[in-house]
Chain A
């Protein structure tokens, strides 16, 4: 019986499948059409119907808010919009953005984490997005003094194709956060140089800073990724490239200074200054170690003095996390992390009509106005915070409506250093110390020649090359491979025509951008 049924069925399957295929195409076509009209109808005039705007953006909060949130509603009311926001969680954002760019189905306000995203670069050249340059002058808040630099450096061929998302230059980035109470317990000074830093770590291991009589301290909670800045200290530059005196760029990955940096880390590893599982720990496990209050140093941005400092305090009430201002290498050159004054960019695809582009810019103009900007982070005065002695004190309602770090604040950051150095509930003395430290950090200028450069060869080949080197570094540090194996690998990379191509393109990109 079974075989009987199959035979005539086959030709039927064909026809049936064709029918179904045709109908499914029809269906999807209808779906697309209706969606288009729905979003198109929103482009009304000021004061009229609210404009609907679809936005997709990053959100670091643990709980995402939706359009039932009072602050969201208030924002819609004040900007006369109907917001349709898709939040991306940071752990999956990169893939989602890549897939979204590949599908070509872009929201009206598209967020991309890095200007160097290869697909974005291709699309910018193909003219997928609006050139915003002619419109920008009409929006005073977008031209605020504090924002000038970010607009300037995100220009593509002299045109403003993107709305950068502000983030302060200083205060962010992975850099040592040290247990001040441990330093005090051992009577040690805050380290200023790499050598002093090393001695502090060694003291943390040997001199029982937590005073429980056991050598259970982990001097430095780190995995290989969290120590990337050590290579930057040795190479005296930010990022992966160093500017040479003849205005060319050289990759620090193959430099002799990087070899020394690796050996510095190896020595620390051999002295037991890192966790035993150093090589295999994931970022979250490093943070867990830190929060367990057993570690003396962790690598993090300055706001973690409280974000992580508070959970540590819960375990050990004496705990006090303090960011270091800078570290000096053997040549006496200071290093502190700093970056471009933005993180991530928004783009408006050409399919959005011009009237709506203006409306979207108006929305961002409000978001970057002092009033709108503070509202997105702190909420509404009297509801979410009260002003006491010139300071904003959060009310219980703030936690309920999830103001502060994350959600709406992540869509448009607060235009202030506080974005990187402050946190909800941070005590005054910690905040004041952070302000002092960030002021000190700002005196340290470390060149960052490669920050805004794009090279196709770099995107295609560099990730694989750097992964090989990073893996090899870990092998050498943990003693699984001899230093000769590392030297051999570096020699191969130096002779690799791909690496030469990358270096050439990067140099060209640098000279075109800055030396024209």
Chain B
């Protein structure tokens, strides 16, 4: 509500100032518009590249989503391909694999939400408590590094660590006369392994935004807290965490919007025959069926379904956040 009020109040002030600058000119909508453009022309020029980017690369391609309702053929193009209504959606939802795909996608996503999402927050809090700034900066730089490795490399590293013939871990087990462990092709460990890989790769990079939020905390607040007799954990709980709350909420809402995106590369690389039943997700399915078999309409329908779920999640999460008085996206 607070935001709405400001919106309502401010046009009044604006109207006054506009009158002064455009007195005597036409009062039509277009006239006022051009007056505004003329006044803030440099700001609009500044925004232009961004606008162009979004229009060409985001909005124009959206129109091609109609192929989800067509039997798209390259020869006839988007305009000439025959319409088939919801056929592709029906085929997708009535597919025996739909529930398996949904289960795997949600499981992988929620595991990541529960274990991967808080990890950078905790790491940022820990880094914030480190006293020696040299030590802190060194650690920071080191934990960023995995972010820059591609998933292919990480697949290679995982293989070198855990495979049964070459893996370091299994070699060590063998030298201790223990049984070797089958980690890479065991359906029971697959989701946990994916989550662990994600955390290993991205936890450091994820701390950046939280550390920035922490850096914005007024040191006086800490001093006041110390004066009030707050210990380390009290300060963390009552000063640092509230300062990060807005950032955490916004990232969480955005994260929910991509709940059906599990990341293609990682899963595609780690997938093998024994784990297919727990590893096949929407993204890999779209690749296999859509791209490799050339079924573009079908895969667009799946993509559209994913996007709709994403929008619903974001809107719902945003509503909930507002209802409970937290920072929201809009």
Contacts and interface: CB of A to CB of B under 8 A. Distances in A.
A280 B272 contact: yes
Contact of B52 (A20, A118, A123): A20
A224 interface: yes
B184 interface: yes
Contacts of B224: none
B42 interface: no
Given A3-B7, A279-B273, A478-B274, A11 B163 contact: no
Interface string B16-39: 000000000000010011001100
Contact of A12 (B37, B59, B165, B185): B37
A122 interface: yes
B33 A126 contact: no
A4 B289 CA distance: 49
B184 A20 contact: no
Contact of B273 (A3, A15, A474): A474
A98 B294 contact: yes
Contacts of B229: none
B51 A117 contact: no
A282 B289 CA distance: 20
B74 interface: yes
Interface string A119-131: 1001100101000
Contacts of B36: 8, 12
B217 interface: no
A24 B33 contact: no
A422 to B, nearest CB: 32
Interface in A76-120: 94-95, 98-99, 101-104, 117-119
A104 B6 contact: no
Nearest to A98: B294
Interface string B277-314: 10000000000110111111000000000000000000
Interface stretch (A38-46, A164-172, A338-346, A463-471): A463-471
A12 B44 contact: yes
Contacts of A102: 72, 74, 294, 296
B60 A279 contact: no
A16 interface: yes
B216 interface: no
B178 to A, nearest CB: 15
A277 interface: yes
B179 interface: no
A358 to B, nearest CB: 24
B74 A3 contact: no
A276 B164 contact: yes
A398 B112 CA distance: 53
A475 interface: yes
B55 interface: yes
Given A3-B7, A3-B10, A280-B184, A275 B293 contact: no
B56 interface: yes
Given A3-B6, A98-B294, A475-B273, A17 B75 contact: no
A7 interface: yes
A391 interface: no
B120 to A, nearest CB: 28
A279 B37 CA distance: 64
A421 to B, nearest CB: 31
A103 B76 CA distance: 10
A137 interface: no
Given A17-B51, A24-B56, A280-B184, A471 B273 contact: yes
A69 interface: no
Given A20-B52, A118-B294, A279 B74 contact: no
Nearest to A472: B273
A478 B37 CA distance: 70
Nearest to A104: B74
A13 interface: yes
Contacts of B75: 104, 122-123, 126, 128
A199 interface: no
A114 B288 CA distance: 17
A459 interface: yes
Contacts of B295: 118, 460
Interface of B: 3, 6-7, 10-11, 13-14, 29, 32-33, 36-37, 40, 43-44, 48, 51-52, 55-56, 59-60, 72-77, 97, 159, 163-166, 180, 184-185, 272-274, 276-277, 288-289, 291-296
